[in-house]
Amino acid sequence: MNFILAGHGNIAIEMKKSIEMIAGEYTNLHAITFQLGEGIETLKDKYLKIISQSTEQPFIIITDIFSGSPYNAAAMLAMQNGNIEVISGLSLPLCLALLHIDYSSINLEETFEQLNDMKADFIKSFSQLSKNIAKHEEF
């Protein structure tokens, strides 16, 4: 499986750096920027440059915002290529989870079922957790 991180400004480049800080380098992980003044065609060209240099393995493109330009450009490519899946919600927990799934035993649909099962683990509230801990300590 190959991955492309994409978002507004330099968020994808910085996300890739953070992933590598935590989990090491991944040769199948790529990141592109989307700068002020660039458009959908520029984004599509950036995606295609990466995709064309890879084997025929599928790509998951992870974008920052649903229906933003990086997402829309990726979705246009996905409509033309069944080996591309696009998801929004770029975050460090999401990326680390995606990178550690064993793709040899599941397909893309099952991948997103696993992510749905994990999504409650991606966002935690300290105040909510501390209230739950306090309730259990009362007994």
Q: Which residues are catalytic?
A: 8
State how far the alpha carbon of 92 is from the alpha carbons of 30, 55, 64, 72, in Å. 14, 26, 11, 21
Of 101, 2, 105, the C-alpha closest to 59 is 2
Burial category of 3 from C-beta neighbours within 10 Å (exposed 0-12, middle 13-18, buried 19 and up): buried
Distance CA 113, CA 106 (A): 10
Distance CA 59, CA 81 (A): 10
**Contact (CB, 8 A) for 8 and 70:** yes
